[in-house]
Amino acid sequence: MPQGKVTSVPDDGLTTRQRRRQAVFAVHTGAGKGKSTAAFGMALRAWSAGWPIGVFQFVKSEKWKVGEEAALTALGGLDRTPVTWHKMGEGWSWIQRAGSERDHAAEAAEGWAQIKRDLAAETFRFYVLDEFTYPMKWGWVDVADVITTLRERPGTQHVVITGRDAHPDLIAAADLVTEMTKIKHPMDAGRKGQQGIEW
């Protein structure tokens, strides 16, 4: 795609304007840093376009203070473009905490059920399904159901899914797939995550 030009034009009868308005399903995956950051960059563009935004975080706890949430929530409060934020679970679900009775699988399933309701109602124009590859990987959410639902979503609702180890069928179904590859990271040298960089 040199200089923003398409390599081929499909014989689908659509005009250039119609193709510019087609819904996009994107996946950001890979072991490198930046998957969610890139998705929230897309959300900023969606906000600028005046689109209602729904963010669904499947791994980050409601207790965690996330920089993107503070920024987008503040922007959503400007009476221009609403931003709705949902957090499921109490944090990294693979870490077992003593005394925790939460059912992460059930919470992930309910989160997906809410997304399906919102897609059917066309509640948002742009969806960030942050770290959503994990519930699919762990078998909490059915990959085939996700693909069918996204393929059949009405209107021009754009969806971006983030997380490592995206299922091959999810990658095949997406319009845009980016793999973040780690070359080097401060944690390799024993440095911890930093506010303003990791969150």
Each residue's pLDDT tens digit, 69-87: 667 777 777 767 788 888 8
Give the pLDDT confidence score for residue 193 in this predicted structure.
75
Segment 84-98, tens digit of pLDDT:
888 875 544 444 444
Alpha-carbon distances of 129 from 10, 20, 96, 101, 152, rounded to whole Å:
29, 23, 23, 25, 17
Phi, psi of 65, rounded to the nearest 5 degrees: -95, 110
Average of pLDDT values for 131-139?
95
54 neighbors 23 (Cβ within 8 angstroms): no
3-class state of residue 130 by DSSP: strand
Indicate the helix (H) or strand (E) that contains 111: helix 104-121
Indicate the helix (H) or strand (E) that contains 28: strand 25-29
Residue 127: is its pLDDT beyond 70? Answer: yes
Q: Which residue has the higher pLDDT, 23 or 195?
A: 23
Q: Which residue has the higher pLDDT, 110 or 75?
A: 110
b/e map of 58-92 (b: 16 or more CB within 10 Å)? Answer: bbbeeeeebebbeebeebbeeeebbbebebbbbbe
Number of neighbouring beta carbons within 10 Å of residue 112: 23
Residue 11: is its pLDDT beyond 90? Answer: no
Identify the residue whose tokens are 């304007």: 17
Which of 104, 118, 101 is closest to 56 using CA atoms? 118
3-class state of residue 17 by DSSP: helix
- Checking DSSP bridges between strand 53-57 and strand 83-87, what pairing results, if any? parallel
In the chain, the amino acid numbered 45 is R
Which of 153, 145, 152, 130 is closest to 56 using CA atoms? 130
Query: Could you tell me the two tokens for 47?
Result: 């906000």
Q: How many Å apart are CA 149 and CA 169, to the nearest integer?
A: 13
In the predicted model, what is the mean pLDDT of the chain? Answer: 83
Residue 108: is its pLDDT beyond 70? Answer: yes
pLDDT band, very low/low/confident/very high, at 54 (cuts 50, 70, 90): very high
Query: Could you tell me the two tokens for 168?
Result: 């091959």
Domains, the chain, in order of start with CATH, read 27-90+103-181 (3.40.50.300)
Residue 161: is its pLDDT beyond 60? Answer: yes
Query: Between the CA atoms of 11, 14, 15 and 19, what dihedral angle is there, to the nearest 10 degrees?
Result: -100
Alpha-carbon distances of 83 from 125, 138, 144, 149, 167, rounded to whole Å:
11, 28, 28, 22, 28
pLDDT band, very low/low/confident/very high, at 28 (cuts 50, 70, 90): very high
Residue 51: is its pLDDT beyond 50? Answer: yes
